[in-house]
Structure 1
Amino acid sequence: MRADARDNRARIMTAADEVFGQSPAASTDDVAKLAGVGIATVFRHFATKTELLEAVLTLRLERLRDRALQLAGSADPGAAFYEFFTQVVSESASKLAIAEALTASGVAAAGEEARAAGHGMREAFDGLLTAAQKAGAVRPDAHFPEVYALLIGSSRGATAARLDAETRDRMLALVYDGLKPPT
């Protein structure tokens, strides 16, 4: 891919992430305008809006996976775990908007790349959980399925209730109290 095409694709992805993260009803025209390219350029890179949405969702999941992997090397595994949990919940509204846009476009399930990225993110989160448990920051009887369900439930709940940052943080403090080992 030529350098200018790579630059255009990167601008399109950045714009799509912002536009679709704000509104599931956003259009590819909105993406093109924000990216500073013509609509034809958008469709040269992504044949359909659905393809663009899939690419944005995949990119978001890969970023989360990469952030979890980065945090895995932290000197404080407990802080790393809770930081990642907070990040996922904080960013959930825009991720869910992208998922809603995909559903509205007729996609019943995420594509293979998005599923693979999601799997990688879950594995990285499981690694953070295991390290936090070994460090004594998360109760040892909290297994991945229920902790992941708490992450998803907290994310969806914060988004559905449109919680402001202060209320969201108080909610997370309650969740974190339940995850900490009994004293």
Structure 2
Amino acid sequence: MTDPTNTSDPTGPADPTDPGLRADAQMNRDRLLEASAEAFAQTGADTSLKAIAQRAGVGIGTLYRRFPTREDLIEATYRNETTKLCRSAATLLESLDPILALRKWTNDFIDYMLTKHGMADALPSILAAREGLRASSRSMLHDAIETIRTAGIEAGELRADVPAEDVLMALGGIALIAGGEHDRALASRLLDLMIVGLTRRD
């Protein structure tokens, strides 16, 4: 498995764990990425790195050893959040009916987009410099939706005439509208409307 912070890997988001790390080092890395995602979503990409380290319960030196620059941390956070969200699609289906899994996943997608929005000033240049990262992320998100969509069609719960690409575009629109209005509750209401539209009606 590759390190998500390894900029020599052209394949895009990768495994959020690194088998080369000791367990305590991996735990610190995971905590830093979780703390950075929360901080970027709340206060943007310019948030204090010292504050992120404190939120994660580690020293600033630990942060800089893993992520020498702010851009390194932003990229790793983006990769980690994308990977976690996409992997969760199959996991949700293990315990939820497809419609409920889709509703939970789309809600998590909005939270993911809010994190991405918090990194908006810095992320475009990272995506532009990192060949294949944007396309790979979109492909992963498409496949995650397709996983739930296929299960829903097979269960007779979801319409078969709406492709995963359309669902992804609709989600992007909801995130854009709700983000522009700074209204998370609006996103939830729009998601409910979208799920109704995707539900099979015989």
* TM-score (norm: length of structure 1): 0.81
**How big is the shift at 1:8?**
3.2
Q: How does 1:13-24 map to 2 (within 5 A)?
A: 13-24=33-44
CA RMSD of aligned residues (A): 2.6
5+ long unaligned stretches in structure 1: none
User: Which protein has the bigger helix share?
Assistant: 1
- Give 1:8's match in structure 2, choosing from 24, 28, 31: 28
Aligned length: 180
- Give 2:173's match in structure 1, choosing from 153, 158, 179: 153
* Rounded Cα–Cα distance in structure 1 between residues aligned with 2:22 and 2:59: 17
Q: Which amino acid aligns with 1:135?
A: A
Is residue 69 of structure 1 aligned with residue 90 of structure 2?
yes
- Give 2:150's match in structure 1, choosing from 120, 130, 145: 130
**How big is the shift at 1:173?**
2.4
Distance verdict in 2 for CA 1:45–1:154, change over 3 Å: same
Specify the alignment match of 2:52 in structure 1.
Answer: 31
* Rounded Cα–Cα distance in structure 1 between residues aligned with 2:112 and 2:191: 14
Is residue 60 of structure 1 aligned with residue 86 of structure 2?
no
Distance verdict in 2 for CA 1:49–1:99, change over 3 Å: same
Specify the alignment match of 1:84 in structure 2.
Answer: 105
**How big is the shift at 1:49?**
0.8
**How big is the shift at 1:45?**
0.9
Contact 2:99 2:152 in 1 (8 A): yes
* Rounded Cα–Cα distance in structure 1 between residues aligned with 2:98 and 2:87: 16
Q: Percent identity?
A: 31
Is residue 168 of structure 1 aligned with residue 192 of structure 2?
no
Q: Which amino acid aligns with 1:125?
A: I
* TM-score (norm: length of structure 2): 0.74
User: Matched residue of 1:109: which SS?
Assistant: helix
**How big is the shift at 1:34?**
2.5
